[in-house]
Structure 1
Amino acid sequence: MGIILWQRGVGLLRNSRMFLLMLLLPLLFTFAFSNMGTASKISIPLHDEEGSPLSQKAVSYLNRSSSYQFVPVSLEKLKVEVAEGRAEAGIIIPKGFSEGMASGKVEIQMVKSKDSTIIPSLQGMIQLSLIKMHTEQTGVKAILHSLTQLGLDVNRPQVTPRVEELLAERWKETLPVATAGKTAEGSKAFRYDPKLQSSLGFMLFFVIYSIIFSLSEMLNDRRQGIWDRLLISPLRKGEIYLGNFLYSFMVGYGQLLILLGASRLLFGVDWGEGWGPILFLLAIYTVTIAAFGMLLSGFVKNTQQLNAVVPIFAVSFAMLGGAFWPLEVVTSPWLITVAKGIPLYYPMSAIKEILLHQQGWNVVWLPTVVLLLMAALFMGIGVRLFERKGGEYR
């Protein structure tokens, strides 16, 4: 079995263009589709007259907005951009901002040439951001005062940033208002992350090509008579099948691991901290697709036929399994039923549950059982068909 893995690995190194292409295409499609339809932020010029650490922190709070991007500029440039209509409005943080923040009476100046629809939204966003900043700063002062009363040294430079960080995390965890949404038909609203959807979907889609095409070497061996020579070698038949199967698994799983890291580095896709359930489910998915590749290899006679049928099944799996778009938007019950018979559906839905709804191993076991049953069925039928087709070449 080891000699088969070695031979396949050397062949992959000599002809690695297909593997590299299957790495590049998911990244290109993720970049294109994850940014499609996302609205860009409205640019708002901002001039900081005070220039203090507190006013700079206020700018960072304002830039947490998902709708506006505050760009620091000079006062003259701010007035020119607003006057010439290149900006809807301009924001000035005046001198005395720190004193106003301490007293709870902050004034932010807005420069505008005319009223527009974004002005009320912009004013409300600025107000809410500064209220949150004032609340957090007040909390930090109270905590530092309490620590001082306990006799602790709070003058060290790392104390205040750490308190601010912990308070911000606590603020996120204990927000006083929670919302739950439903559509007009009464179905539960779903969370959607375009980067996660695109990255995970195209990753699971393109790995189908890599896994199944790696098994096409068995068809070449059968056509060239190498398969018959392997059968009369000291290798047992099970070792020959297992070697080819392990090779396709290593190619597919290696591609998935590379794409996981690349999507996180290039696009900032958050795969969470608990990698165990995700990596385990991707391994089971790889096994299932390799078994399905064995099934297709048993049906076809040569690599040309395999190359023709693989795109049909891969695209169908991606469309029906939720790789190209979230299945939550599909309203047809029979399409959802069909999706549950497709291997790609299970890692796609389970991994999104893990990442978007903070689930764990509890959502992994059912997909694992279903995928392993599929793999056993595909592999059993595929080997029998491959054996039968092999007799036609003798």
Structure 2
Amino acid sequence: MIIYEFKVKGKDRQYCAIDEAIRTSQFIQNKCLRYWMDNKNVGRYDLNKYCAVLAAEFPFANELNSMARQSAAERSWGAISRFYDNCKNKDLSKKGFPKFKKNCRSVEYKSTGWKLSVTRKAITFSDKKGIGTLKLKGTYDLNYYNIKQIKRVRLVRRADGYYAQFAVDVDAKVEAQPTQQVVGIDLGLKYFIADSKGNVEPAPKFYRKSEKALNRANRKKSKKFSAAKKKAKIRQSNNYHKARNRYARKHLKVSRQRKEYCKRLAYSVIQSNDLVAYEDLNVKGLVKNRHLAKSISDAGWYTFRQWLEYFGHKYGKVTVAIPPHNTSQNCSNCGEKVKKSLSTRTHVCPHCNYVADRDINASINILKLGLSTVGHTGIYATGDLPSWAVGKSLSSNGESVNVESPN
């Protein structure tokens, strides 16, 4: 399954119709969640049947395509099933009880409710929301695929416009020649990655470089905000919404820079090696450190891991996630534990006099653990599904790890 994304062009009334469809999808999703909370033994098919009840009760819900309503119900069931799985795993952390959605940004259609033009450069939505025909702007060519291979179509709203995503059922695997190379990767803040061969890649720090402009745009937005209007539940001024959109566009640019950097670096690593061992970092727990939260979020470690696993699956390379415990403390030469603080950037072993950069030493330990794991378990070191497998279905925020840009 691969995802192709196009920017859509239309008129203002069509954009308003897309917004209305997104609000309706959010309404159905929340209603299905409430139905599950108020009734016992509610399953996935019960939520699908409940969509017909909502369509009969609310005229605006009936205007949305029937399969789009079912897709909204499936989103609710996805959150419910994840909650059930977390409860069965007996994890001590939060179980992730499903929450009501406040700001959905997408609506998803299945096999009906839309039709591509003959040239496949435009798409027409035929439900009663009045979206109509939208032009598709992009470099991909959908003529290579049969219409039956397109399993989902999603309309996504972002700060810089509206996009259409096509989920195409096709085998994305590509045969690649073996390189007879293996590598271990240590993720860090000073260096984004340091590998076991001694190579380092400096951290780009996209957010830090744009922080001054972001703060300036945020101040301009705040000056146009009226607390009195919010208290009276009156819509903010047009100037406020324009400033908010400019601020959101700057954040979107930083996010795209980080994603493109992680994708290109992951592609380079996969093409150069047959086996890649990397740290199985708990990023969600690491960002709780208030001193390093901003730098960790700016690094984009999890995004890099997603692309690494996706490209590994696509090109038939082995990717192994290794628990990061003591990889920086242990000596890669003799194996003895050498305690050091986070500020100590050089590994000096008093037992064997081995001296190396802290991150290089950790990457060698990661490679050793990765090689010891391969051939014994036959699965990913974390025991969970890899990110590429989870990303086969489109995520609820309109992003997907399978989206490849033409550049």
**TM-score normalized by structure 2?**
0.22
Instruction: Give the structure with the larger helix fraction.
Output: 1
Instruction: Give the structure with the larger strand fraction.
Output: 2
**TM-score normalized by structure 1?**
0.23
Q: Which has the larger radius of gyration?
A: 1
